[in-house]
């Protein structure tokens, strides 16, 4: 995809999604970190149902560190992989308390050393909580990037590297949320809504559905 086409693509996405941000409810970087860990293989909706009571009972790293697995499970049992996530959250909070004064580190290496945190989650925290110009690639962004021709790759790291090279600096901070929201609500996996897609003229997807000729 040409640079001019990429610029137009992001201009149109930005116009259609004026306030791109995460759909995980949170008040601070700590709540965001816990919510992102919980969101692995789960929906944001299911996480948002569980976290208000969780954070009311356990508002910080120290309180979660001192909780038992069953105490955490009682709040997150409805979320997939809850037993593993409960253990990871407690271990993560123990590290936050002992090594980072209970705060979420603004450092990739430190973030990726936390249980339940990989490169994607670290990128989400760095971008959403701290404003770093990094792009976390999830299943939606992987699909949109490959489908449109924006950044193709066989794995998420290839797509991430391609996006970091191709996305203009003006949109690097918001690219993650622009692409994930577009993938979640328009460029869906099974039935992409191409007829109502604002970037259908920039998209290189050969299997477009609906009327792709109208603006």
For 13-22, what is each residue's pLDDT tens digit? Answer: 999 999 999 9
pLDDT at 206: 74
Structural contact between residues 118 and 164, judged by C-beta atoms closer than 8 angstroms: no
Structure tokens at 134: 């990094």
- Catalytic residue, chosen from 12, 85, 120, 173, is 120
> Is position 120 annotated as part of the catalytic site?
yes
Mean pLDDT on 155-165:
97
For the domain covering 29-128, report its CATH number. Answer: 1.10.340.30
Q: What is the DSSP letter of 202?
A: T
Is the pLDDT at 164 greater than 50, yes or no?
A: yes
Q: Which member of 85, 138, 173, 174 is catalytic?
A: 138
- Give the tens place of pLDDT for each residue, 143-159: 999 999 999 999 999 99
Q: Which long-range contacts (CB under 8 A, 24 or more apart) does 151-156 make?
A: 156/120
Q: How far apart are the first and last CA of the chain?
A: 20
Q: Is the pLDDT reported for residue 212 higher than 50?
A: no
CATH 1.10.340.30 maps onto the chain at 29-128
CATH architecture of 3-20+135-196: Orthogonal Bundle (1.10)
Active site annotation includes 161: no
pLDDT higher than threshold 50 for residue 214:
no
In this predicted structure, what is the pLDDT of residue 213? 36
Tens of pLDDT, residues 51-102:
999 999 999 999 999 999 999 999 999 998 999 999 999 999 999 999 999 9
CB 149 within 8 A of CB 1: yes
Confidence of residue 215 (pLDDT cuts 50, 70, 90): very low
Where do you find CATH 1.10.1670.10 in the chain?
3-20+135-196
Checking if the pLDDT of 135 tops 60, the result is yes
What's the chain's average pLDDT? 93
pLDDT of 19-54, one tens digit each? 999 999 999 999 999 999 999 989 999 999 999 999
């Amino acid at each position: 995809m040409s640079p001019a086409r990429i610029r137009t693509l992001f201009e149109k996405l930005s116009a259609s999604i004026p306030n791109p941000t995460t759909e995980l409810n949170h008040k601070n970087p700590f709540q965001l970190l816990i919510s992102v860990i919980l969101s692995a293989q789960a929906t944001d909706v299911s996480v948002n149902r569980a976290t208000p009571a969780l954070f009311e009972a356990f508002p910080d790293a120290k309180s979660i560190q001192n909780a038992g697995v069953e105490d955490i499970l009682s709040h997150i049992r409805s979320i997939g992989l809850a037993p593993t996530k409960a253990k990871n959250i407690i271990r993560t909070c123990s590290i936050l308390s002992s090594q980072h004064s209970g705060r979420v580190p603004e450092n990739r290496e430190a973030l990726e050393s936390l249980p339940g945190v990989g490169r994607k989650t670290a990128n989400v925290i760095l971008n959403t909580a701290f404003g770093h110009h990094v792009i976390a690639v999830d299943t939606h962004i992987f699909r949109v990037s490959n489908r449109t021709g924006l950044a193709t790759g066989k794995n998420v790291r290839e797509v991430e590297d391609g996006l970091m090279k191709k996305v203009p600096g003006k949109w690097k901070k918001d690219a993650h949320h622009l692409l994930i929201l577009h993938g979640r609500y328009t460029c869906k996996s099974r039935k992409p809504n191409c007829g109502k897609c604002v970037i259908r003229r920039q998209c290189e997807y050969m299997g477009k559905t609906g009327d792709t000729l109208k603006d």
